[in-house]
Amino acid sequence: MSGFSFRGKNFNNPVELSLDVIGGRWKIPIVWRLKEGSMRYGELRRSLTKITHKMLTHQLRELEQDEIIVRKVYPEVPPKVEYSLTLLGESVIPVIDLLREWGEQYRNVFNK
């Protein structure tokens, strides 16, 4: 398959595009936590114990830009913001689940 351009970036294949959208250390854990429903910023931050404020904000913005999550702001004081998966984001859950299963199998190969 020849390369292609998507949103101003060049990719050699669809796997590279997929990894660009959900790859990295924090995106998959964020999406995985949102699979059960909406979460506020503070809840996400507490559940991802080693992520910095700056990194969480950056990853949430990228996921929102790629339409994997949606950010809902409630007009109240203090401001309430919730993040949830879009339908596109929900479609990633089976992929993550397969990666999780593969990781378990891989781990078990070396735990004998």
How many domains does one find in the chain? 1
Structural domain including 96 reads 4-110
Render pLDDT for 27-39 as a digit per residue (tens, 0 to 9). Answer: 999 999 999 999 9
What is the pLDDT of the chain when averaged over all its residues?
Answer: 94
Q: CA nearest 43: which of 6, 77, 81?
A: 81
Render pLDDT for 7-26 as a digit per residue (tens, 0 to 9). Answer: 999 999 999 999 999 999 99
Q: Which two tokens stand for residue 46?
A: 């507490």
Instruction: Please report, for the domain that includes residue 44, its CATH number.
Output: 1.10.10.10
Report pLDDT for 78.
87
Using pLDDT thresholds of 50, 70 and 90, give the confidence band for residue 86: very high
Report pLDDT for 2.
79
Q: Which two tokens stand for residue 42?
A: 């503070």
Q: Does residue 61 carry a pLDDT above 70?
A: yes
Longest dimension (CA), the chain: 55
